[in-house]
């Protein structure tokens, strides 16, 4: 990845490069439209969303914030939550912001990969059902994907502007130069800082291939770039590290607590890969993951993804020059980001691999577009382009079906939370109040109450402390038919079935 200073200035693409159909902008607009039509309407808040929102909501008590979480997504939505409690407003705002972030993150790649290839990569990523469903959700994984895409592009534009520029798109003029200088360094630092703020461990995994690339070059520019990478991590991770010392007794202890919350992070390669395959098309959290594998037609793209990425790398190595770094670095970063979720956990969720999908879409799009452009003009090229469009249409059709199914599942689950909260309010529970038991966090947030747990991943208190609190504030214990256990202090309380929740019961004194 050795780079040479071409003497170009940070002025962006030429006027000729800006002419032509705004392909990437069209993809971003389509992404926004699909979100607004399919993922926003009638979706209440999910479990994790209620935790992140409660941290910055001035109207509700903050839920317990466990060690693995980071506060970046809470900071992102804080201005909206401060202005209005409307969930619909929040969803629409996030849908528009995520579409703009998709455009901004992939726009960095246009001088590196060409306009058509970049737009195709964005379409491949935005067309996934989990990408659409995550757009309006208060969850960090999609935003880490955008930050990772932007950081990798800025790194390449900073390190090797001459070698990595690849205007293979015929519409991109040959004299287009990749911008260099302080703006790309600032973009690299800001993107890594955003990733660290959103999820500090993921940002470290993202930065490892970049630091390795700098170490392989060993020149002054490499040292400068490595310093920027480390500076971005430090700036974004400072809040996480400070909270680790204040709340958990240090960074090492927070990592240990995070591992315990995740069920004990360790070598689980078989279980992690199996869980990722099983949860490919939902549910949104597969823990424990004992469901059947998805059908081949609905998982073929996932099985082919590593094969296509490997083929793109092999072609780039054979081609050499600028294509090598543009292909190898995003693949390396994608593998690094996926490693903890595929190898160290024994459960999975589709959103975990969103950053890897975003990065792998770039070399895959380059491989597909390159196969078309290498053909001679005329019928062969048109036939190859038509076949590529047909494959993309079939893939998007499958993803649209999965989107409808998972959006309906998410809607049913979140509606149950809201109905449980409404049931508690009808029973007279009002702030200040306390809710405990299974699913207490999202139900308590919807009811305007505090939440507490005595067991599980969100354990934040003891049964004795809860018993004392029940004498001071109105308290409810939720019970799920699948979990008949009640704390001793609530066994003499009165049960109240909560209609529309699938059999949940609230116990009140």
Both structure tokens of 19? 């002419």
The CA R_g of the chain, rounded to the nearest whole Å, is 24
Q: How confident is the model at residue 376 (pLDDT cuts 50, 70, 90)?
A: low
Mean pLDDT of the region 413-423: 94
Both structure tokens of 9? 């200035």
Is the pLDDT reported for residue 140 higher than 90? yes
Is the pLDDT reported for residue 269 higher than 60? yes
Judge contact between 106 and 154, C-beta under 8 A: no
Q: How confident is the model at residue 384 (pLDDT cuts 50, 70, 90)?
A: confident
Question: What ranges do the domains of the chain cover?
Answer: 15-374, 416-508
- Per the DSSP assignment, residues forming a β-bridge with 506 are 478, 496
Is the pLDDT reported for residue 53 higher than 50? yes
Where is pLDDT greater, at 177 or 120? Answer: 120
Both structure tokens of 443? 């139900």
Is the pLDDT reported for residue 171 higher than 50? no
For the sheet with 434-436, list strands across it: 450-452, 434-436, 475-479, 505-508, 494-497
Is the pLDDT reported for residue 178 higher than 50? no
Q: How confident is the model at residue 420 (pLDDT cuts 50, 70, 90)?
A: very high
Is the pLDDT reported for residue 472 higher than 80? yes
Q: What is the mean pLDDT of the chain?
A: 88
Q: How confident is the model at residue 20 (pLDDT cuts 50, 70, 90)?
A: low
Both structure tokens of 240? 């996480």
Is the pLDDT reported for residue 375 higher than 70? no
3-12, 147-156, 372-381: which has the highest mean pLDDT? 147-156
Judge contact between 156 and 180, C-beta under 8 A: no
- Cα 277 to Cα 3, 107, 396, 406: the distances in Å are 39, 31, 19, 16
* Torsion angle of the four alpha carbons 2, 6, 9, 13, in this order, in degrees rounded to the nearest 10: -90
Residue percentage of the chain with pLDDT more than 90: 71
* Torsion angle of the four alpha carbons 435, 436, 439, 442, in this order, in degrees rounded to the nearest 10: 30
Q: What's CA 248's distance to the chain center, in Å?
A: 25
Q: Which pLDDT does position 484 carry in this prediction?
A: 65
Is the pLDDT reported for residue 174 higher than 60? no
User: Lowest mean pLDDT: which of 11-15, 56-60, 466-470?
Assistant: 11-15
Cα separation, 179 vs 45, in Å, equals 41
Sign of CA dihedral 182, 148, 198, 238: negative
- Per the DSSP assignment, residues forming a β-bridge with 477 are 436, 507
Per-residue pLDDT of 227-259, as tens digits, reads 999 999 999 999 999 999 999 999 999 999 999
Per-residue pLDDT of 385-404, as tens digits, reads 788 888 889 999 999 999 99
Mean pLDDT of the region 143-156: 97
Q: Which pLDDT does position 465 carry in this prediction?
A: 92
Per-residue pLDDT of 192-205, as tens digits, reads 999 999 999 999 99
Q: How confident is the model at residue 160 (pLDDT cuts 50, 70, 90)?
A: low
């Amino acid at each position: 990845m050795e780079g040479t200073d071409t003497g170009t200035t940070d002025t962006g693409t030429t006027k000729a490069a800006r002419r032509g159909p705004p392909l990437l902008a069209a993809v971003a607009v389509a992404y926004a439209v699909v979100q607004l039509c399919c993922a926003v309407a009638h979706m209440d808040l999910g479990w994790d969303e209620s935790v992140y929102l409660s941290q910055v909501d001035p109207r509700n008590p903050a839920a317990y914030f466990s060690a693995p979480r980071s506060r970046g997504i809470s900071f992102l939505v804080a201005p909206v939550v401060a202005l209005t409690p409307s969930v619909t407003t929040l969803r629409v705002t996030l849908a528009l912001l995520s579409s703009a972030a998709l455009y901004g993150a992939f726009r960095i790649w246009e001088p590196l990969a060409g306009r058509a290839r970049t737009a195709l990569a964005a379409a491949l990523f935005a067309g996934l059902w989990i990408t659409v469903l995550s757009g309006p959700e208060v969850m960090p994984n999609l935003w880490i994907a955008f930050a990772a895409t932007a950081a990798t592009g800025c790194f390449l534009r900073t390190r090797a502007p001459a070698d990595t520029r690849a205007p293979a798109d015929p519409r991109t003029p040959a004299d287009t130069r990749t911008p260099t200088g302080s703006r790309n360094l600032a973009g690299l630092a800001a993107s890594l800082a955003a990733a660290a703020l959103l999820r500090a461990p993921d940002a470290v995994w993202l930065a490892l291939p970049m630091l390795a690339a700098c170490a392989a070059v060993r020149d002054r520019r490499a040292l400068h770039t490595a310093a920027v990478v480390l500076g971005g991590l430090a700036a974004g991770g400072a809040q996480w590290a400070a909270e680790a010392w204040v709340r958990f007794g240090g960074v090492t202890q927070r990592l240990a607590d995070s591992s315990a919350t995740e069920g004990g992070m360790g070598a689980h390669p078989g279980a992690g890969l199996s869980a990722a395959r099983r949860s490919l098309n939902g549910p949104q959290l597969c823990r424990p993951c004992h469901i059947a594998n998805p059908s081949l037609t609905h998982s073929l793209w996932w099985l082919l993804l590593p094969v296509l990425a490997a083929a793109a790398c092999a072609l780039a190595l054979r081609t050499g020059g600028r294509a090598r770094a543009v292909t190898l670095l995003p693949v390396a970063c994608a593998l690094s980001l996926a490693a903890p979720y595929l190898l160290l956990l024994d459960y999975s969720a589709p959103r975990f691999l969103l950053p890897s999908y975003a990065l792998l879409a770039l070399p895959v799009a380059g491989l597909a577009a390159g196969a078309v452009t290498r053909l001679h003009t005329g019928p062969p090229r048109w036939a190859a382009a038509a076949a590529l469009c047909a494959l993309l249409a079939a893939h998007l059709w499958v993803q649209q079906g999965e989107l409808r199914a998972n959006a309906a599942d998410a809607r049913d689950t979140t509606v149950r939370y809201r109905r449980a909260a409404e049931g508690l309010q009808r029973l007279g529970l009002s702030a200040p109040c306390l809710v405990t038991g299974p699913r207490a966090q999202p139900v308590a947030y919807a009811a305007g109450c505090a939440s507490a747990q005595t067991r599980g991943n969100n354990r934040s208190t003891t049964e004795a402390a809860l018993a004392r609190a029940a004498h001071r504030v109105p308290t409810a214990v939720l019970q799920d038919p699948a979990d008949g256990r009640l704390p001793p202090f609530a066994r003499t309380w009165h049960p109240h079935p909560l209609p529309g929740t699938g059999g949940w019961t609230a116990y009140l004194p």
